[in-house]
Amino acid sequence: MQREGKGREDLVFPGENGHHLRLARVHEDNMSWFASAVNRSGIPRITPHDLRHSAASFAVSAGANVKAVQKMLGHSSAAMTLDVNADLFDGDLDAVSDALDHAVSQSGVGKVWADA
């Protein structure tokens, strides 16, 4: 595990000098450490920002507290987190519909309309 034996403030992936890795430029003409690792992995091109965006989207879709996701990303507002980094997944709209159906059936509203 990359964090084993490291303190809370230690870098998980330090550079050769023990400090931050250089910027992860991912252009085809600049094979940075990150771009090289992605290339060797055989996965499609992805950037650190893409990973950040995906993490936010998955967290929100899984029901994470948006304020917690905001803090995780260092955003100034939850609105920014939702507008910029949290995409809607296809199943999210179905989940809203299912939740509304459940709420209506529990409230008895549908029975009132059926008996009218």
- Summarised one tens digit per residue, pLDDT across range 71-115 is 988 889 999 888 887 666 777 778 888 888 888 888 876 565 555
User: What is the band of 41 on the pLDDT scale with cuts at 50, 70, 90?
Assistant: confident
Q: How many CA atoms lie within 13 A of 50 on its CB side?
A: 10
Model-wide pTM > 0.85: no
User: What pLDDT shows up at residue 110?
Assistant: 58
In the structure, how many helices (H) and strands (E) does the chain have? 6, 0
User: What is the band of 23 on the pLDDT scale with cuts at 50, 70, 90?
Assistant: low
Q: What is the pLDDT of residues 7-17, one digit of tens each?
A: 878 887 777 78
Mean pLDDT of 36-46: 83
Pairwise CA distance, residues 3 & 22, whole Å: 20
As given in the structure block, the two tokens for residue 91 are 């199943």
As given in the structure block, the two tokens for residue 74 are 């260092």
Cβ–Cβ under 8 Å, residues 66 and 45: no
